[in-house]
Amino acid sequence: MDTLTFLQANGWGGSFPPEVEARATGALEDGSVIVLPNLPFPMTDDEKKLLDPRILAKAKNVSYNPATGRLGGTSCTGAEAELLRLLVARYSESARTLVHNLFPRYRGAVRLERTSLRPAEIAGRASSWRKDDTRLHVDAFPSNPVRGDRIIRVFCNVNPSNRPRVWRLGEPFEKVAARFGPAIARPFPGGAVVMQWLRITKRRRSEYDHIMMGLHDAMKSDTAYQSSTGTAPVEFGAGTTWITFSDSVSHAALSGQHQFEQTFSLPVSGMADEGKSPLRILERLKGRRLA
């Protein structure tokens, strides 16, 4: 399995030949990162002025909820805030169109989730080990359980100084699960109900979510693992767009500044081969249903 699969796109709204759609879907589900090296996100001069860490409030990124149109995490006000909101909303819609066109099999099942603009430099940012995304990890959401649904993310490097976004990629998900999974204890009986009641989680956490959080934390906290595992740095140049199942692709963002990101969720039933999902892999390893 290739960790990177390179494709060409004819703009954010362009169509793809059936053979490219099939190749993209197969590669994505196999754990590859789909790279579109010549798919920049167009921005006006006024929009490019927003590519500055000054637009951040206390958050590390600007967030946008496509369902409500609400923008968060920014210090911008008035007309500037509205310009920023429209910019991030336009990226969200462009990413949605791209996913629908490149992965038509997912079209009826994939759901649009949060959007973000990340104008701050990753490298050197002070953070706890658990929140340090420069360490290899698989994505899991502490407060928003997915209950087995997949996490698709569409990234785009919009760095105005042509600096790359640098990642490192780790081993396949099944190896991660086999390495760290046995040490993860079963959730405390009733704990998921209590966390939901206390609003620690937005809905009830499944055992799958519990294990995924355990994998995320075990990977990040293991210093020896972090220093001995992973590929050489992978550079995504300015104007590059890339797509991956971030819940199964072990990744670390080493450096880079100015990036858009759109998250999607996909039920495993919407996949071409749900046996390749983390849910089904973990259920095989554990010998029981997890969600």
pLDDT tens by residue, 23-32: 999 999 999 9
pLDDT for position 2: 78
Per-residue pLDDT tens digits for 55-76: 999 888 999 999 999 999 999 9
pLDDT score of 126: 79
Sheet holding 165-169, edge to edge: 234-236, 165-169, 251-255
Q: What is the pLDDT of residues 112-128, one digit of tens each?
A: 999 999 999 999 887 89
Q: Which two tokens stand for residue 116?
A: 């973000």
Residue range 93-116: mean pLDDT, rounded? 97
Tell me how far the alpha carbon of residue 2 is from its chain's centroid.
Answer: 19
Q: In 30-77, which residue ranges form alpha helices assigned H by DSSP?
A: 45-48
DSSP state of 176: H
Q: Residue 137 has which token pair?
A: 């990890």
Cβ burial, residue 171 (10 Å; 0-12/13-18/19+): middle
**DSSP letter (8 states) at residue 231:** P
Strand 33-36 versus strand 4-6 pairing type? parallel
Distance, C-alpha 29 to centroid of its chain? 14
As a CATH number, domain 4-286 is: 2.60.120
What is the pTM for the complete model shown?
0.96
